[in-house]
Structure 1
């Protein structure tokens, strides 16, 4: 729907719809953040928030509590990052409800997100344990398990990215097949399927990816 083809320096560069939709999601979230920021500044601190501001406050508090329970009280400062990650994943996963291709049905998107988690995990592993303690962790519980520990660490971003990618893409493929097979009667039959493949699966995968991110990174901190 929004595929882009660019001709640069004699070469044709194709940008698929899923990647274009990444930018659309980011723009939508930036607009939402700007609106929320304006409403917060205009709100009276002595009055109880209502409407849109109340929803935002509840969402922020829910994510903060989830971060504290999963990563520990001292890691509550990870809340904004996890909130941004969950907001992006939720909107991206639910994009199919609007007739768009979900950005997370593109493996390059899910792999990028998984690599961000992997990079933060390794960074805080070295920062909090020192390079010696970080490397020593690969020799535990027994030194001969070093190859398995290394492979297990490298497998995390792969499994994390494929889990999200596979679940979202499978929903896109199944719904496309159903629409092609049923034709004009598809809108009558597909709402329950959209509720499962887009809504339920999208929310569930957002939660799973975010939880695993907090677990992987939080494992490098001492409570």
Structure 2
């Protein structure tokens, strides 16, 4: 909980610039992914085994997911798809370790959705040409041009708000639950030790942080592939 309301706290200042929890946790996740990537790839062997084999299986799954949803010709999008899946997935489940998920900040989710929106427009124009891409907004009848434009602009908004809303809802519910359990422990049991907070929220953490978090990362990634491939067809 923030000082002035619900939201990420300011972790520290660089001069007059406030650096929030969202930024610091995102840096931490990026650092973990970078270290993991270097550790896995520094001594790669022709005959994969152990961790290398697991990572190769994950890469293969991401490649297959990209092929199935975007087609063989768009396999080059697999690195972006994999990055989204890993970054959003880890950001969503990091609440299990006591951190505030970066995806519970609208700035994060909108930046990701705007990135997808820019890629959608760029590759749509590159694939069809500027004229051909613009002509698509006049279909099936030119009268629908305003609605088609609004629909296209609504995609990044819905994409960003969907992820933000689902993750933030989980954070709010867990925050209220911890507060209520702390009050019950103090009032009913007369203890200052957060006894009820230690085990009761575990099941809800599994749902909100693990299940819902991974599901939302998958949905965001799938919609990204649909938007980009749809603009190129």
Give TM class, smaller chain: over 0.9
Give the RMSD, CA atoms, in angstroms. 1.2
For the residues of structure 1 that align with 2:156 and 2:49, how far apart are their CA atoms? 40
| Matching residue of 1:202 | 213
For the residues of structure 2 that align with 1:220 and 1:91, how far apart are their CA atoms? 28
8 A contact 1:2–1:20 mirrored in 2: no
| Matching residue of 1:28 | 32
| Matching residue of 1:191 | 202
For the residues of structure 2 that align with 1:32 and 1:96, how far apart are their CA atoms? 20
SS in 2 for 1:215: helix
8 A contact 1:6–1:13 mirrored in 2: yes
| Matching residue of 2:191 | none
| Matching residue of 2:63 | 64
8 A contact 2:22–2:101 mirrored in 1: yes
Q: How many residues align?
A: 213
| Matching residue of 1:138 | 137
Unmatched tracts of structure 2, length 5 or more: 1-8, 183-193
1:1-223 equivalence runs, <5 A: 3-7=11-15, 12-40=16-44, 43=45, 45=46, 47=47, 49-183=48-182, 184=194, 185-222=196-233
C-alpha displacement of 1:87: 1.0
8 A contact 2:104–2:164 mirrored in 1: yes
Instruction: State the TM-score, normalized to the length of structure 1.
Output: 0.92
C-alpha displacement of 1:50: 2.4
SS in 2 for 1:14: strand
SS in 1 for 2:69: helix
Closer, same or farther: CA 2–25 of 1 in aligned 2, 3 Å = farther
C-alpha displacement of 1:90: 1.1
C-alpha displacement of 1:55: 1.3
SS in 2 for 1:141: coil
For the residues of structure 2 that align with 1:135 and 1:4, how far apart are their CA atoms? 46
C-alpha displacement of 1:2: 7.3
Q: Deviations along 1:17-57, whole A, 9 cap, x unmatched?
A: 012111111111111110111132xx2x1x3x222112101
SS in 1 for 2:43: helix
SS in 1 for 2:140: coil
Q: Deviations along 1:65-96, whole A, 9 cap, x unmatched?
A: 00000000111111111111111111111110
8 A contact 2:10–2:18 mirrored in 1: no
Closer, same or farther: CA 39–2 of 1 in aligned 2, 3 Å = farther
SS in 1 for 2:17: strand
